[in-house]
């Protein structure tokens, strides 16, 4: 797990009580950034404008001919985009979409109240219909609006995406548009079978460029901004499902980040054929069955129907209940991902978990928390977990031990902690480890929520 890890033995069994079938929405690996860019203070506007113009010139000089052709083809096939925006560069690409940086040529012709840095008047948010309304003559007269270039991120959604998936993303973006930590949907266009979404362009720092050097006190602002965004998402009963550094655009200088990419997001719901975790502890019959010890092997032709559950997300960031095909997935899956990000920061290893499939992912988690804890988690969701890998411990390790091993190379064994006095070195680490432990709780019922996380001492003081 993580960078510079030696290859280890990886084998084990995760046996569901029902046959596995091919699930929908498997790993959605996406490196796209839907917008980058800090919304700069008024004092810096002129300098930033000059920098943007220089960047545009550099982009034109260095642009690959193949990319130039791609941008031209996009503009030709989508006249609505070409008439209003000047495509500059490609800033991301994922499984279901590509993202381009562009200049909004008609910015001043519309009421862009979503742009919180325009003016005091512009700090109010309107509905999407108002956002597209032309500005009034009075607004033009008083000079409401920016006097410099404005950039957007254009998300071109591939035709391979289902219409329902596209509609779902656009509706959720509109629903969540009233939070400063979430990229709002400016507008959207459709031309035949093509759909594009227009989002703000945010400058940000690459997570890999700062996570090793950023002090813990500064990283608290990263976590506070991320959890604030998730609180807003979760209060609307929505699961993001793909929380990871590339989907949270953060600027360390401004201490501000924006959550993007709601392509996998969905509303929280309970499947009618709910997971056993809903009634666990309330039904002794269920507990008796799931507490049985697994027997060697499994039926060659098991007639039981397979369990179908949404397992969408990015490898290494998915919660145990997602890997175990829980049908009752909640917003707590996003808080597990928050914990993985914090663990990667504290251990200085990214990605921390680096599994190739779900079984390897469960082995990695069990290597930290121990066999008994993962077995209990599996039984909670109507599955059984068993492995004979000697490196998977019975006791498990504390997260302090894991971080010390990752940072200092200290050996970690099951009988004696070799942890150095991390807390004595930095009192904030005590709070950080407590917060981390609450995020990386394998039992989702005990895992901290976004609202609770904001009240935790680790984040409450900033």
| Same domain membership, residue 197 and residue 236 | no
Residue 131 lies in a domain: no
Q: Is residue 369 part of a domain?
A: yes
Instruction: Answer yes or no: are the C-beta atoms of 152 and 35 closer than 8 Å.
Output: yes
- Same-domain check for residues 170 and 278: no
pLDDT digits (tens, 9 = 90+) for 289-302: 545 555 555 555 65
User: How far is Cα of residue 156 from the mean position of the Cα atoms in its chain?
Assistant: 20
Query: Which residue range forms the structural domain that includes residue 162?
Result: 64-108+149-201
pLDDT in tens, 361-377: 999 999 999 999 999 99
Q: How many domains does the chain have?
A: 2
- pLDDT at position 293 is 53
Q: Is 242 a catalytic residue?
A: yes
- Residue 31 domain-assigned (yes or no): no
Q: Does residue 213 share a domain with residue 176? A: no
Quote the CA–CA distance of 246 and 458 in Å, as a whole number. 23
Confidence at residue 46, expressed as pLDDT on a 0 to 100 scale: 42
User: Is residue 235 located within the same domain as residue 254?
Assistant: yes
CATH code of the domain containing 174:
3.30.200.20
Q: Does residue 380 sit within a domain? A: yes
Reply yes or no on whether the pLDDT at 245 is more than 90: yes
Q: Which stretch, 218-232, 284-298, 402-416, has highest mean pLDDT? A: 218-232
pLDDT digits (tens, 9 = 90+) for 300-321: 565 655 555 555 779 999 999 9
Say yes or no to pLDDT of 133 above 90.
no
Residues 212 and 182 in one domain: no
List 52, 242, 360, 404, catalytic entry: 242
Q: Is residue 179 part of a domain?
A: yes
CA angle in degrees (0–180, nearest 5) for 210-215-218 = 85
Of 377, 328, 307, nearest in space to 17 by CA: 307
Q: What angle do CA 454, 438, 392 make, to 5 degrees?
A: 155
**Whether residue 454 sits in one domain with residue 386:** yes
171-194 pLDDT, tens per residue?
A: 999 999 888 999 999 999 998 888
Whether 299 is covered by a domain: the verdict is no
Q: Which helix (H) or strand (E) holds 171?
A: helix 163-175
- What gap in Å lies between CA 84 and CA 103, rounded to an integer? 9
- Residue 13, domain member (yes or no): no
231 and 260 assigned to the same domain:
yes
Let me know whether 231 and 348 are in one domain.
yes
pTM of the model: 0.77
Q: Which residue among 201, 231, 264 closes a domain?
A: 201
Look at residues 201, 226, 243 and tell me which one is the last residue of a structural domain: 201
CATH code of 430's domain: 1.10.510.10
User: Is the same domain home to 397 and 287?
Assistant: yes
């Amino acid at each position: 797990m993580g960078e510079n890890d030696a290859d280890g033995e990886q084998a084990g069994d995760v046996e569901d009580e029902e046959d596995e079938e091919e699930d929908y929405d498997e790993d959605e690996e996406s490196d796209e950034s839907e917008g980058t860019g800090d919304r700069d203070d008024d004092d810096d506007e002129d300098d930033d404008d000059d920098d943007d113009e220089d960047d545009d010139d550099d982009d034109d000089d260095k642009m690959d001919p193949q990319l130039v052709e791609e941008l031209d083809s996009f503009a030709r096939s989508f006249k609505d985009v070409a008439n209003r925006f000047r495509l500059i560069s490609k800033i991301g690409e994922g499984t279901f979409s590509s993202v381009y940086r562009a200049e909004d040529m008609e910015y001043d012709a519309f009421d862009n109240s979503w742009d919180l840095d325009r003016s005091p008047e512009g700090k109010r948010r309107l509905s999407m219909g108002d956002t597209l309304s032309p500005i009034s003559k009075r607004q033009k007269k008083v000079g409401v609006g920016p006097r410099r270039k404005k950039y957007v991120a254009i998300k071109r959604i591939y035709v391979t995406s289902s219409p329902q998936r596209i509609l779902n993303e656009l509706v959720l973006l509109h629903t969540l548009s009233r939070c400063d930590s979430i990229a709002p949907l400016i507008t959207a266009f459709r031309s035949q079978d093509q759909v594009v979404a227009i989002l703000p362009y945010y400058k940000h720092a690459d997570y890999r460029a700062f996570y090793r050097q950023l002090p813990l006190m500064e990283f608290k602002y990263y976590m506070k901004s991320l959890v604030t965004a998730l609180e807003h998402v979760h209060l609307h009963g929505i699961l993001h499902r793909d929380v990871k550094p590339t989907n949270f655009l953060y600027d360390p200088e401004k201490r501000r980040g924006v959550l993007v990419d709601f392509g996998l997001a969905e509303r929280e719901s309970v499947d009618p054929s709910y997971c056993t975790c809903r009634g666990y502890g309330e039904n002794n019959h269920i507990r008796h069955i799931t507490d049985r010890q697994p027997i060697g092997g499994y039926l060659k032709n098991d007639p039981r129907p397979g369990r179908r559950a949404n397992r969408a997300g990015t490898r290494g960031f998915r919660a145990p209940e997602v890997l175990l095909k829980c049908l009752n997935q909640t917003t707590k899956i996003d808080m597990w991902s928050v914990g993985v990000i914090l663990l990667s920061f504290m251990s200085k290893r990214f990605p921390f978990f680096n599994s190739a499939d779900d079984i390897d992912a469960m082995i990695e988690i069990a290597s930290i928390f121990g066999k008994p804890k993962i077995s209990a988690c599996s039984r909670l969701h109507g599955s059984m977990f068993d492995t004979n890998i000697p490196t998977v411990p019975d006791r498990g390790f504390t997260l302090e031990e894991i971080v010390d091993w990752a940072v200092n190379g200290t050996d970690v064994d099951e009988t004696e902690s070799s942890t150095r006095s991390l807390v004595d070195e930095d009192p904030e680490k005590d709070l950080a480890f407590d917060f981390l432990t609450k995020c990386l709780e394998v039992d989702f019922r005990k895992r901290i929520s976004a609202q609770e996380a904001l009240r935790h001492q680790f984040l409450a003081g900033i």
